[in-house]
Amino acid sequence: MRRVIESDICIIGSGISAAMVAAKLADERQASVVVIEAGEEQPPMQEWGANRDRWISYGSTPWPRDHIDGTDVGGIQSRSMCVGGLAMHWGGVTPRFSPEDFKTKSLCGVGHDWPISYEDLEPHYYEAEVRLGVSGEQGPRDIDPRSRPFPMPPLPLTYNLGVLKQWTDAADIATWSQPSAKTSQPYHGRGACCRNDTCFPICPVGAKYSPDQTWTPLRTQRKVTLHTKTVVRRLVVDDASGRIVAATAVHRDRMGQEIEFRAKTFVVAAGYTWSAHLLLLSRSAKFPDGVANRGGLVGKYLTGHRNVQAFIDLPLELYPGINEQHSLLTKQFMRKPAGEKYVRHDLRVWESAVGREPRLKDDAGRLLLGDALFTDWRTRTARGTARVRSYYDVIPAHESELTLDASRKAPWGDPLPKLAFRDDPVSRDLRGYTEDSIRALFERMAKAGNGRIMRSNVDNFQDHPAGGCRMGTNAATGVVDSHGRAWDHENLFVVGAPTSVSGSCANGTLTFCALSLRAAEEIGKTFPKRA
């Protein structure tokens, strides 16, 4: 027998984007909200300290139920299927995109413009920073615009980062404290970050934001109903109206019983992999290519960015044992100079112990023990190491895509997704030039500090992936409009990472949250305001 569950709003997925939508709607609107999550609950915060200790002592994961067996498709994918999603163990880094990111076609003649501007998204950026609890420092306003201060002051720089900031200043590079969803002071029941550098994979004290900090009060106050271990397999369309009338699902422990979720509004918040995957799976006689796919763009234009990294030996006294995850940031290279090739990247600087660790053999292979070991260590720690990294913008191609893989099935019988990232010809042809330009910058920085490059590398994948359901001005240019509403179905929204038009040169999580809050504002207009 089919089980039927009804609500005003049905949210599919429980990651950070879903949490933002649910929280805003619960705060502002009178509507019943059901949330469907394919994964399981994570351990409560009270257990995090013990989980961290087991991870340090034995290498056992502090997140034992953060994926579903049989859903691994390889590559960079949204594999963390659990309550809270990938942001249960993210790094908490929260830079904004730059104004230039939203109009690369207009300004530089490459890629595609977003149907919204930085100014359109700016209020939602700030709202996301408030909800996440972001600590940050205002950069130069011409390259780091914002209307209001950060919710909290920046995380204080360590001694090492303070020394490295003097070095970047000497290299004529203005750096400042990386904004982060970590508390620099007590904030809404969260204690201040104690700087124990275990942000990844687990913050044992809750100073770093994670989606459970949103879901727990929403569920405790009965503002949402969460169904876990429940896999949505199809969205059902009413052929006459084009509206989504149901989401059909199964519970992973009861595969034989179908569950039908009915709602007035459906929100797909399943990450960039599984959102497009669900739309493609939802085929019917009237929609043979899946829902929201009139323009054939579902799964297309997967985006992200690559990075170039180097370790620089410097004649600086840097303590080798600190090596915190916090970094310095600059955005001055995210703006393309007029008349130059399309190269845009950020720049971050970390302290590092590379080359400064105690070792058992010297360069000649001789064994080092006792006083010899300590003498060697003291000699090598007379100098310091900086880790530098630049994410650079990669323009996605139409052929950068997610498709259904008929040869591989999930445990419940549906085809798994197949991912294939492709660069736009402009980015493909400029790749060597871009990476050489970044290496030249690192060389200049090393020279400014009388240092040398110890080693460098390029990550050959697109990090911080997004796209697959991108927004556009019409169904020919996007799957959804600027609010995340599907062009083909008035009551269907896609939120967060999938709606991105491009990947910028910075972590996208804050942008995904801002986009989700903007969508929630539009969704909420259908329902009465809370008194």
Give the pairing type, strands 384-394 and 303-314: antiparallel
| Annotated domain spans of the chain | 1-116+220-302+397-421+463-531, 136-178+306-395+425-460
User: What is the Cα–Cα distance from 328 to 176, expressed in whole angstroms?
Assistant: 5
Matching CATH number, 1-116+220-302+397-421+463-531, of 3.40.50.10090, 3.40.50.10470, 3.50.50.60, 3.40.50.300: 3.50.50.60
pLDDT at 67: 85
pLDDT at 61: 83
Residue 486: closest CA among 294, 238, 292: 292
Angle between helix 509-524 and 16-28 (nearest 10): 30
Q: Residues near 447 by Cβ (< 8 Å), separated by ≥ 6?
A: none
pLDDT at 79: 62
Tokens matching residue 100: 């230039």
- Asked if 273 and 405 count as a contact pair (C-beta separation under 8 A), the reply is no
- Asked if 394 and 304 count as a contact pair (C-beta separation under 8 A), the reply is yes
Query: How many angstroms separate the Cα of 318 from the Cα of each of 97, 305, 313, 323, 371?
Result: 31, 31, 11, 10, 22
pLDDT at 205: 85
Query: How many angstroms separate the Cα of 439 from the Cα of each of 176, 217, 347, 352, 446?
Result: 21, 47, 12, 18, 10
What tens digit of pLDDT does each residue of 115-136 get? 999 999 999 999 999 999 999 9
pLDDT at 75: 60
What tens digit of pLDDT does each residue of 1-28 get? 689 999 999 999 999 999 999 999 999 9
User: What is the Cα–Cα distance from 418 to 397, expressed in whole angstroms?
Assistant: 16
Strands in 252-383 per DSSP E = 254-268, 303-314, 328-330, 347-352
Q: What is the H or E stretch that residue 430 is in?
A: helix 425-448
User: What is the Cα–Cα distance from 478 to 298, expressed in whole angstroms?
Assistant: 8
> Alpha carbon 97 to chain centroid distance?
12
Residue 27 DSSP SS3: helix
Residue 313: closest CA among 383, 248, 212, 253: 383
Residue 42 DSSP SS3: coil
pLDDT at 56: 84
Give backbone dihedrals phi and psi of 194, rounded to 5 degrees, phi first: -95, 10
Neighbours of 336 (CB within 10 A): 17
Q: What is the mean pLDDT of each run of 10 residues along the chain (531 residues)?
A: 93 98 97 97 88 85 85 67 92 96 96 98 98 97 95 95 96 97 95 83 89 96 97 96 97 93 98 96 95 97 96 92 86 93 97 91 92 91 95 97 94 94 96 97 97 93 93 98 97 98 96 98 96 82
Neighbours of 299 (CB within 10 A): 30
Question: pTM of the full predicted structure?
Answer: 0.96
pLDDT at 459: 86
pLDDT at 87: 93
User: What is the Cα–Cα distance from 246 to 264, expressed in whole angstroms?
Assistant: 9
